[in-house]
Amino acid sequence: MSNGVAALNAPLVGAAGSRARLETPSLLLDATAFEKNVSVLAEMAAVRGMGLRPHAKTHKCAAIAKAQLEAGALGIACAKPGELLALFEAGVNPLMLTAPVASRLKIDRLAAAAARGADIAVVVDRAQLIADYAASARAASATISILVDCDTGLGRTGVTTPAEAVALARMIEAEEGVTYAGVQAYAGNVQHVLGFEERRAANRVANERLQAIVTALKAADLAPGIITGGGTGSHMLDFEDQVLTEVQAGSYVFMDEGYRPVDLHGAGEEVFRFALFVAVTVIAHSANGEAITDGGTKSFAIDGPPPRAFLDGVEIGTIAWAGDEFGRLKTHDGHAPPPAGARLECTVPHCDPTANLYDVVHLVRDDVLEAIWPIEGRGLSD
């Protein structure tokens, strides 16, 4: 365990009232909300007869990934080789790398892991990448599954036409050491469209482009066994459209302020609970009486709406930044700045990069610190 707050908090595990005694800044995971989020999406997917492959770019934590697998997930998606390999070493399998790479050394590391038992699938967007994966797999006496990466509107990676997808699928089938597994199409441009009907329309455009690719592959006798994509913002729409065979939702497990205004199911109601918080402590007060906390921009990813701050479960204000190390509590009307030593629990602007700032996450249930989980993929953006 690190020499930071995790070491200071370790003696509190299992102690009554330990949640309120945590040293800060510390990353908290509310066990009740977390477990509910995992089960809710798993049940929705099961009812629709679709698979889930939750994306670990959100949490990078083996304990969380294992909970998702135990709830019925087909596997775990990863954005980068580093986080995938860290999760494999921590006992997570199967694993899918959802972005192309351009490093033969990284490909060799993936192939070596496959030779040691990692069940790895990857995506490709060009012929050379297929050849590189195949050569590394053969050299390692391993097998790697490959999906064709398709761009249906995000404008980041992937082929855009049915002809390109068919050509790559044929190349995969012709290589030894790799197997053709299907296609990926992540409509990231859809996920944060706020209105449900507007998001449905945007997602339908993406799925129509994907359906044209799937139809062409079937006509070429290359029917994709896996059609993967989607996310937290589009999960219900993808369950409805039934073009994908599985959904790669990630943020649903934590939730954040960026997703808070997104009407996920069209009823204006909460679907997933806020489970991730950053605990901070009031360390002083400014000359005008504002509470200053010990959590600044090194404790929160700030690419999203400001965190809401809670004292004893009551929302009392929002956090404004007072520097890299410090926050400034902007209290709501009717709430006085809390005294020095008061501990606040704050929502996060953006959950994925916030989790990446911490070595561990503190699992809390009611008022008790239940466990401290390592975030094995923390900082592994390679």
Distance between CA atoms of residues 89 and 77, nearest Å: 15
pLDDT-derived band of residue 382, with 50, 70 and 90 as boundaries? confident
For 268, the enclosing helix (H) or strand (E) is none
- How confident is the model over 151-186, as pLDDT tens digits? 999 999 999 999 999 999 999 999 999 999 999 999
pLDDT at 3 over 70: no
Q: What is the bridge-based pairing of β-strands 26-30 and 276-285?
A: antiparallel
Helix 81-89 vs helix 62-70: angle between axes, to the nearest 10 degrees? 70
Model confidence pLDDT, tens digit, residues 190-209: 999 999 999 999 999 999 99
Per-residue pLDDT at 304 exceeds 70: yes
Average pLDDT over the chain, rounded to an integer: 97
pLDDT tens column, 17-64: 999 999 999 999 999 999 999 999 999 999 999 999 999 999 999 999
Residue 4 confidence class, pLDDT cut points 50, 70, 90 = confident
Evaluate if residue 281 carries a pLDDT over 70: yes
Does residue 123 have a pLDDT over 80?
yes
Q: CA-CA distances (angstroms) from residue 219 to 2, 48, 166, 223?
A: 55, 26, 9, 8
Closest C-alpha to 95, from 57, 126, 151, 133:
57
pLDDT at residue 1, as a whole number: 54
**Tokens 């290589």 belong to residue:** 175
**CA-to-CA distance for 42 and 233, rounded, in angstroms?**
15
Please list the residues that pair with 278 across neighbouring strands. 27, 346
**In this structure, are residues 107 and 96 in contact, taking their beta carbons and an 8 Å threshold?**
no
Which tokens is 300 given? 């929160």
Q: Which domains does the chain have, with CATH numbers?
A: 5-29+271-374 (2.40.37.20), 31-253 (3.20.20.10)
